[in-house]
Amino acid sequence: MFRIPDFHVVEMTFDEAKSTLSRLTDGGLLSGLEYMNKKWDEHCVTEDADDDDFYGMWCYECSAFNIVFEKMAPLFAEK
């Protein structure tokens, strides 16, 4: 999950979050989640990376990621 500062969090429904992530790539929801992980990894290796700039640019997508991740996490938990 992304640790988004409160002022960058965008409230949305689960369906809105799914739609937001699914539009990022041609591969659907899972591909959208992977895309955002890749964007964060790219951001972290940038020498002058500013997290506030990242969240400002990707606030909708990061918020969507967290909503989908939180909802789907129980599906992958060990029993």
The one-letter code for the residue type at 37 is N
Q: Which long-range contacts (CB under 8 A, 24 or more apart) does 50-54 make?
A: 52/5, 52/8
Phi, psi of 24 (to 5 degrees): -70, -30
Which pTM was predicted? 0.91
Query: What is the model's pLDDT at position 74?
Result: 87
Sorted by where each begins, the domain ranges of the chain are: 6-73
Q: Residues 15-46: pLDDT tens digits?
A: 999 999 999 999 899 999 999 999 999 999 99
Cβ contacts of 62 within 8 Å, gap of 6 or more: 2, 4, 8, 36, 55
